[in-house]
Amino acid sequence: MKRFDFVIIGSGIAGLSLALKAARHGTVAIVTKGARAESNTRYAQGGIACVTSAEDSFELHVADTLDAGAGLCDEDVVRSIVTDGPARIRELIEAGVHFDERELEQGASVAELDLGREGGHSRRRILHSRDVTGREIEEALLRAVGVNPEIVMLENHIAIDLITLRKLGHVSADRCLGVYVLDEASGNVLTLRSDRIVLASGGCGKVYLYTTNPAVATGDGLAMAWRAGARIANMEFIQFHPTCLYHPDAGSFLVSEAVRGEGARLIDAKGLQFMAKYDPRLELAPRDIVARAIDAEMKRTGAKCVYLDISHKPAEFVRSRFPNIYETCLKYGIDITRDPIPVVPAAHYQCGGVLTDANGSSSLAGLSAIGEVACTGLHGANRLASNSLLEAVVLAHRCCEILAAQSVPSESAWPVELPEWVSSEMHDVDELVVIYHNWDEIRRLMWDYVGIVRTTKRLQRAATRLRNLQSEIQEFYWNFKITTDLLELRNLATVAGLIVDCALLRKESRGLHFTLDYPGTNERFRRNTIVQLN
């Protein structure tokens, strides 16, 4: 058993930001699946939304966020995160993050940040580093973490389950005491003991067949929190990014919302714009509206994709503003300075998650959650573009302040030493075949039955099949030696079930949840969908 003052699961912007602040108060372990730089943060292209211009205001940013959230945002949370943003941006800059600046006009003495605009925003307020903002932030934070002696980075380690008093047999109280972690290289399981466990594990995009997320986004933190008894909220709200590159060899490459923010147009195969039929804001409507519009156009025409065209902008501007998108598309024979980009919607961001307060505290004592894995009330029924990175740095700061100020309960109140992990050493020659088959089946049924447009019958079919799959996966989990593949499959099945259960509970269409059986918004459901394991 290893003891730390803080254990953080995840190495994206939320986890790294928290680790740097927590290291001032004690020892920190960061548990990260795969390489330390592999996270959703790294693939964030557009930028981070924050009020930094005299032409903008906190009130406008709050209003845009509330409008996108379709009535489910917590206004107090929105206002507090938006107003805390500038201070956290200054910290990122001090940590070495470089945001693009405008060219100095003649006579100007101070450079200004070059602000982008994205869907749902009424002003330019997106700070960016070309079209690789997430990578710029991730690398700066990793450099700072790497030289901090108080921080231990456990790469290629996957968290298995949280250790709680209830799981150790206590009935009068419950709290989180630690976490079991699989060392992927050796196959050994570590027991990490801490009174401050923080989930910063990101989202669950890989639960869908088509996603902009990297392979690590399998909802591990969310699934662990659910199994530990924490309250989960609003998992029906899965955001589909409208513009993922459509090419058989491209995988899951995102074409940033910022491209539309700089004037790109959505067109069909005939070159005709179609967004005017769906929203007066055209291509700058919130993501749920744009994604449904593209889905509707594809179904109406039978097309496999639509197109995003920025070829009317100066070629040099396009290449300098979007170098990563330009180079990536060029590899597939698409010159975006001349050619429209074939795009389709793809699963992108979970707006629900572990229910927390405005400081990241969950319903389970000793467990916090920040970043995409958490549901703070900021996003409501639909996330406003580029608000996620803002939320991550603000919540990391607040979470650290709360945890550092808390007095650690007396160790005599519960076991100091935690039991070691007991694992089956059995192998099954068919195990990998079953894992890969079930992984594929979950992702396909979620795409077909729990996608952008839903029906009650499709959701019920998904629920029935998922129950069978979950039973099958549990049998493998208990009877055979655990592997990363098996743990991810178990978590995917759990998260898929949470999405379906929450979707069945919401008998209306709101934000990212659209069902043909209840196409209108119902004020009776203007509340969070909260589920908890009994």
Relative orientation angle of helices 387-405 and 133-146, to the nearest 10 degrees: 30
pLDDT of residue 109: 46
N-terminal to C-terminal alpha carbon distance within the chain: 29
Q: Which of 322, 422, 265, 399 lies closest to 116, judged by CA?
A: 322
Beta bridge partners of 368: 198, 361
160 secondary structure, DSSP code: E
What is the sign of the dihedral through the CA atoms of 340, 347, 273 and 279?
Answer: negative
Report in angstroms the alpha-carbon separations of 374 from 14, 181, 361. 11, 21, 9
Residues of the chain with CATH 3.90.700.10: 242-347
pLDDT per residue as tens digits for the range 252-304:
788 988 899 899 999 999 999 999 999 999 999 988 899 999 999 998 898 99
Q: Which of 247, 270, 219 lies closest to 496, judged by CA?
A: 219
Structure tokens at 530: 């909260």
- Do residues 508 and 497 make contact, with C-beta atoms less than 8 angstroms apart? no
What is the sign of the dihedral through the CA atoms of 458, 382, 295 and 212?
Answer: negative
Sheet holding 2-3, edge to edge: 2-3, 189-193, 176-183, 157-164
Cα 118 off chain centre by: 18
Q: How far, in Å, CA of 464 to CA of 467, rounded?
A: 5
pLDDT of residue 287: 84
CATH fold group of domain 431-527: Methane Monooxygenase Hydroxylase; Chain G, domain 1 (1.20.58)
Between the CA atoms of 337, 342, 346 and 349, what dihedral angle is there, to the nearest 10 degrees?
Answer: 10
Structure tokens at 26: 């004690």
Residue with tokens 């206004």, as numbered in its chain = 75
pLDDT of residue 411: 54
Q: Which of 60, 98, 100 lies closest to 82, judged by CA?
A: 60
Q: Which of 317, 249, 17 lies closest to 140, judged by CA?
A: 17
pLDDT of residue 173: 79
pLDDT of residue 35: 81
- DSSP letters along 335-350, please? -TTTSPEEEEEEEEEE
Neighbour-count burial of 12, counting CB atoms closer than 10 A to its CB (0-12 exposed, 13-18 middle, 19+ buried): buried
CATH 2.40.50.100 fits 242-347, yes or no: no
pLDDT of residue 511: 93
Q: How many residues does the chain have?
A: 534
Cβ neighbours for 471, distance < 8 A, ≥ 6 positions apart: none
Q: How far, in Å, CA of 509 to CA of 21, rounded?
A: 40
Q: How far, in Å, CA of 264 to CA of 275, rounded?
A: 12
Residues of the chain with CATH 1.20.58.100: 431-527
Kindly report the pTM of this predicted structure: 0.91
* Identity at 248, one-letter amino acid code: P
Residues of the chain with CATH 3.50.50.60: 2-99+113-236+351-412
Cβ neighbours for 307, distance < 8 A, ≥ 6 positions apart: 266, 267, 268, 269, 340, 341, 342, 343
Residue 265 is among the residues annotated as catalytic for this protein: no
* Identity at 274, one-letter amino acid code: F
pLDDT of residue 46: 76
pLDDT of residue 137: 93
Per-residue pLDDT of the chain (534 residues; tens, 9 = 90+): 899 999 999 999 999 999 999 999 999 999 999 888 777 777 677 789 999 999 999 999 999 999 999 999 999 999 999 999 999 999 999 999 999 887 655 555 456 888 988 878 999 999 999 878 889 999 999 999 999 999 999 999 999 999 999 998 887 778 999 999 999 999 999 999 999 999 999 999 999 988 988 889 999 999 999 999 999 999 999 999 899 999 988 877 889 888 998 999 999 999 999 999 999 999 999 888 999 999 999 988 989 999 999 999 999 999 999 999 999 999 999 999 999 999 999 999 999 999 999 999 999 999 999 999 999 999 999 999 899 999 999 999 999 999 999 876 555 556 667 888 887 777 665 667 888 889 999 999 999 999 999 999 999 999 999 999 999 899 888 888 888 999 999 999 999 999 999 999 999 999 999 999 999 999 999 999 999 998
Q: Which of 68, 7, 2, 55 lies closest to 387, judged by CA?
A: 68
- Do residues 267 and 307 make contact, with C-beta atoms less than 8 angstroms apart? yes
pLDDT of residue 413: 59
Average confidence score pLDDT of the chain? 91
Q: Which of 430, 510, 33 lies closest to 224, judged by CA?
A: 33
Q: How far, in Å, CA of 206 to CA of 303, rounded?
A: 24
Q: Which listed residue (287, 292, 443, 506) is catalytic?
A: 287
Q: What is the CATH number of domain 2-99+113-236+351-412?
A: 3.50.50.60
238: helix, coil or strand? strand
pLDDT per residue as tens digits for the range 134-164:
899 999 999 999 999 999 999 999 999 999 9
Structure tokens at 358: 């405005």
In this structure, the number of other CB atoms found within 10 A of the CB of residue 189 comes to 16
